[in-house]
Structure 1
Amino acid sequence: MVRLSRATLSRVAAEARPLAEPRATGVVHLGIGAFHRAHQAVYTEQAMAATGDDRWGVCGASQRSTAVAGLLRPQDCLYGVRAGDDVRVIGSVREVLVPGDDLAARLAAPQTAVVTLTITEKGYRRAPRPDGPPTAIGRLVAGLRARAAADAGPLTVVSCDNLPGNGATLAALVTELCEPPLLRWAEQNVTFPASMVDRIVPATTPADLDDMEARLGVRDLGAVVTEPFTQWVIEDDFAGDRPAWDRAGALLVGDVRPYERMKLRLLNGSHSAIAYLSGAEHVSEAVGDAAFAGYLRRLMDEDLSPTLHGLDAFDLAGYKRSLLTRFANPGLRHRVTQIAADGSQKLPQRLLDPARERLAAGHEPRLIALAVAGWMRYVTTARELDDPLADRLTGDPHAGAAATVERLLAIEEIFGPDLRDDRVFRDLVTDGLHRLTADGLAATLRTLDT
């Protein structure tokens, strides 16, 4: 087996080699998983290629695991991305750090101008678990402290996670951990622009690695597989210099919120509905069922789209059609178990917030409620539950629908007191869970309006 590296890059076809070779590190990324490697790192390389500005190499940092470093370090941090039929080796990543490495020094380096994060929804917590490592937010604040002490200049910190108001959320968490002198420095030198990211990146399989080896001519254990579609919308609020991401197709705007809400609710909300209702192994299989695809269309049209505003110049109908096409792509093999993880952290912004808005407008969000009922059935019947609140979610799978809904709605971190006490929402979810349990999904969809 010949492994991908700079020494073996000549074996790769010229058209599949990196577009740029950075000479310096200008971006530090926290959470260097598959999504970052298929999204922000690609935009960064394309920006360097478009401008010739090669100062924007990426230093990626893992929060808990050494797995990504184990894949990329032997390959000189090179890896391939397959997007549809297009395959290219990406060279924008220059270094991968593991827990224990000096992340603060990289954050304090004068040439570092931007920090990006993909740490997932559950990464946005203040304090570490008693027996756990420092949080990503804590490590970021330690880096800001070192940067302030070094007087290393301004820094832009861009959250790329699926959270509403991700920039403001991150800024608030950082602020809480800053002592007064550091807070004063940060207020003058650090910005936290919001962003919205969109690209479906399923977990890489052994078959994907074999396919990439056949295409590249070398073995690439860090390869990622994604779809051709990609989108990045960033609030134009940078503290200093930045990669020319706009030259690579990113959209710089004054207000990200309309785009963020659209993506969280239409794409991610539909994904959650697929994960908790369909029973399929892959997203494409779920959408291949005409009745279920029809339910997704109605979910987007009737319960989710009415909560979206500020998109008058955007082709919302075309975007929804494109989502169903993307979901139906069998080449992605996007496993629903990957989407189903951490549901307690995802449901509020994906489905519960739009449910609140529909209830406040006097409408019954029946289609959202069915997806929530599906989640309740999932957490009470799953053999293994990947969720930070798993101990509180699991319960008697034979309890009646009303008892299960009563128990789970009482978890205020998820539903808040408003949805817990909303009789309309409670009745809709209870009805949906009863139907799913008694009749199954197909019959429930046939009789949804009765």
Structure 2
Amino acid sequence: MKLNQKNLVDISNRISCPTYERTQLNTAIVHIGVGGFHRSHQAYYIHQLLQKKGSENWAIYGVGLREGDRNMYNTLKAQDGLYTLVTQHPNGNIENEIIGSITEYQLAVDDPQSVIDKMASPNTKIVSLTITEGGYNFNPSTGDFDFANPDVQHELKNPHDPRTVYGYLTAALQKRRANGLPPFTIMSCDNIQHNGDIAQKMVLAFTKKQDAELATWIEKEVSFPNSMVDRITPVTTTEIIDYLIIENDLQDKWPVVCEPFIQWVVEDNFSNGRPQLEDVGVQFVPDVTPYEKMKIRLLNAGHSVLGITGAIHGHPTIDACMQDEVFAKFMRAFMDKEVTPILGSIEGIDIEEYKDNLEIRFGNPNIKDSVSRICSESSAKLPKFLIPTLKENLEKGGSITYATFILAAWCYYSDKRIDRDGRPIEIIDAMADQLYREARKTKTNPMAFLKQESLFGNLAKNDRFAKLYTQMIRKIYGDTSIREYMQEIV
């Protein structure tokens, strides 16, 4: 049976389905970047809220900005925005639920004006984003807006022909302002520290170039709440699609797989109202900073610790890494000895319990999160997730052994590109070629990889770090396997 609105009644006999009348919902949220994570996280929370009475005004209008979003557009269009959320528990239990919170979807490249008009509609209260770090269009070394982007150059000259998220946001806000409407909130749900602050900085940088008067209004009126989001959501595989057909007689062309754990911490700062998401477990706080730091330094960095070393060793998935006692101990020691001492106390959070849960989550045998996905775009991840911990411990005299080892392993990974059995490692990184070129120089200059200041800053100039890193490079490039060396360290 195909998944669509017409078949929902029949499907509900075997799978949990929306109990709300989807045709009666108002779309007050425009979401840009409808991918797996958005559908397992924000759209799921909204779905839970819609299941409660009195929440009819908060459905989601999805937007795909790029031609690359066409497959998602075609799939959700055929399925009336419906999809299956497959929650896989560590004990093997699987929960299937049809999510109905995305009631409309538009591919912006086909009809830019319809997206602008929707954002500018009085009904729209929030425009939310999951556009990945690259979508924010900032220079990773300076943090400044990249005006050299050809699409940005086009938008500055042609404000009525947007191509990037900034062109759409400013065109819609301009129209709202002209019509005397209050602005919408711009809410980033991306895995970036201070994501709201970064969104605000980039929007204002762009708008000041395009329309300085509008920029002044945005700075005064538009809210950009920071938020911390968390739910492991691996790439959907054909096995999951086949599972739904075999076990549930359901044809869903693009279901979403996730773990049972979910968390969302948001600063309670909205321009024009918000859904009562605290009713479904979202935590609203005055400052999200300590929660962001905890998640990025423990979960995200922990993933990279396992992913890079696991790729070199030949472990295909994160749960396989956790089944290896050496890898599991190394990751926990990194969290205990290098991250925990710099986190401090966090209101409402038991750090030890949080780390215990991370071990369970990473070890979930049903998630099968590939190390290649976790390692993808490491050049964007490690400078945010791992290196700040290393620098803080250098300043405070704390342990730097584990983080330094990961940087040395990253160099080897970027250079050799094969695992211990000679199988090629899939490297997905915008800087892959540059990383390879610099890593190749390591045999003649152990510090060569660290000369990339856009990634490492002045780390190479720190004598304590440089001495340890050089020792580790020589050993990793020697006869000691990555796993044996990890065992020595632990």
The alignment's TM-score, normalised by the length of structure 1, stands at 0.94
User: 2:118 is paired with a residue of what secondary structure?
Assistant: helix
Of the three residues 460, 465, 486, the one matched with 1:420 is 460
Of the three residues 49, 62, 75, the one matched with 1:71 is 75
Q: 1:181 to 1:440 in 2, by over 3 A?
A: same
Percent identity between the two aligned chains: 33
1:353-376 Cα shifts (integer Å, max 9, x gaps): 111111110224110111122222
Please say which of residues 30-39 and 117-126 is displaced more in the overlay: 117-126
Aligned to 1:441: 482
Q: Distance in 2 between matches of 1:18 and 1:81?
A: 12
Matches within 5 A, 1:17-416: 17-20=17-20, 21=22, 23-64=25-66, 65=68, 66-84=70-88, 85-100=94-109, 101-102=111-112, 103-125=115-137, 126=145, 127=147, 129-130=149-150, 134-178=163-207, 179-279=211-311, 280-311=315-346, 313-382=348-417, 385-395=427-437, 399-400=441-442, 403=445, 405-406=447-448, 408-416=449-457
Q: Give the total of aligned pairs.
A: 446
Q: 1:425 to 1:156 in 2, by over 3 A?
A: same
1:394-429 Cα shifts (integer Å, max 9, x gaps): 2276643573542x322222112x323222223333
Offset, 1:137: 3.4
Q: Distance in 1 between matches of 2:148 and 2:262?
A: 33
1:301-324 Cα shifts (integer Å, max 9, x gaps): 011112213415421000001001
Please say which of residues 382-391 and 247-256 is displaced more in the overlay: 382-391
Q: 1:162 to 1:396 in 2, by over 3 A?
A: closer
Offset, 1:140: 2.5
Q: 1:75 to 1:253 in 2, by over 3 A?
A: same
Q: 1:398 to 1:192 in 2, by over 3 A?
A: closer
Q: 1:7 to 1:131 in 2, by over 3 A?
A: same
Offset, 1:61: 1.6
Q: 1:410 to 1:359 in 2, by over 3 A?
A: same
Q: Distance in 1 between matches of 2:398 and 2:368?
A: 36
1:97-144 Cα shifts (integer Å, max 9, x gaps): 224133222211111101111111222213474379933334333332
Please say which of residues 334-343 and 124-133 is displaced more in the overlay: 124-133
Please say which of residues 281-290 and 311-320 is displaced more in the overlay: 311-320
Matched, 1:430 2:470: yes
1:24-73 Cα shifts (integer Å, max 9, x gaps): 11111111100000000010111222242211111112232112112211
User: 1:281 is paired with a residue of what secondary structure?
Assistant: coil
User: 2:273 is paired with a residue of what secondary structure?
Assistant: coil
Q: Distance in 2 between matches of 1:241 and 1:89?
A: 27
Q: 1:238 to 1:440 in 2, by over 3 A?
A: same
For structure 1, which runs of at least 5 residues remain unmatched after alignment?
none
Q: Distance in 1 between matches of 2:332 and 2:360?
A: 12
User: 1:225 is paired with a residue of what secondary structure?
Assistant: strand
User: 2:6 is paired with a residue of what secondary structure?
Assistant: coil
User: 2:477 is paired with a residue of what secondary structure?
Assistant: helix
Q: Distance in 2 between matches of 1:83 and 1:332?
A: 9
Q: Distance in 1 between matches of 2:246 and 2:19?
A: 21
Kept in 1: contact 2:204–2:219 (CA 8 A): no
User: 1:26 is paired with a residue of what secondary structure?
Assistant: strand
What do you get for the CA RMSD once the two structures are aligned? Answer: 2.0
For 1:286, the aligned partner's letter is C
User: 1:203 is paired with a residue of what secondary structure?
Assistant: coil
For 1:12, the aligned partner's letter is I
Kept in 1: contact 2:375–2:427 (CA 8 A): no
Offset, 1:146: 2.9
Q: Distance in 2 between matches of 1:240 and 1:55?
A: 13
Kept in 2: contact 1:160–1:196 (CA 8 A): yes
Q: 1:434 to 1:305 in 2, by over 3 A?
A: same
For 2:260, the aligned partner's letter is P
Kept in 2: contact 1:47–1:246 (CA 8 A): no
User: 2:150 is paired with a residue of what secondary structure?
Assistant: coil
Kept in 2: contact 1:246–1:252 (CA 8 A): yes
Please say which of residues 153-162 and 389-398 is displaced more in the overlay: 389-398
Kept in 2: contact 1:19–1:90 (CA 8 A): no
User: 1:211 is paired with a residue of what secondary structure?
Assistant: helix
User: 1:87 is paired with a residue of what secondary structure?
Assistant: strand
1:217-275 Cα shifts (integer Å, max 9, x gaps): 32001200101110000001111211111111100001101111111110000101111
Q: Distance in 2 between matches of 1:432 and 1:146?
A: 57
Please say which of residues 290-299 and 133-142 is displaced more in the overlay: 133-142
Kept in 1: contact 2:446–2:474 (CA 8 A): no
Q: Distance in 1 between matches of 2:282 and 2:376?
A: 28
Q: Distance in 1 between matches of 2:362 and 2:166?
A: 33
For structure 2, which runs of at least 5 residues remain unmatched after alignment?
89-93, 138-144, 153-161, 418-423
Q: 1:74 to 1:404 in 2, by over 3 A?
A: farther
Q: Distance in 2 between matches of 1:323 and 1:289?
A: 16
Kept in 2: contact 1:19–1:46 (CA 8 A): no
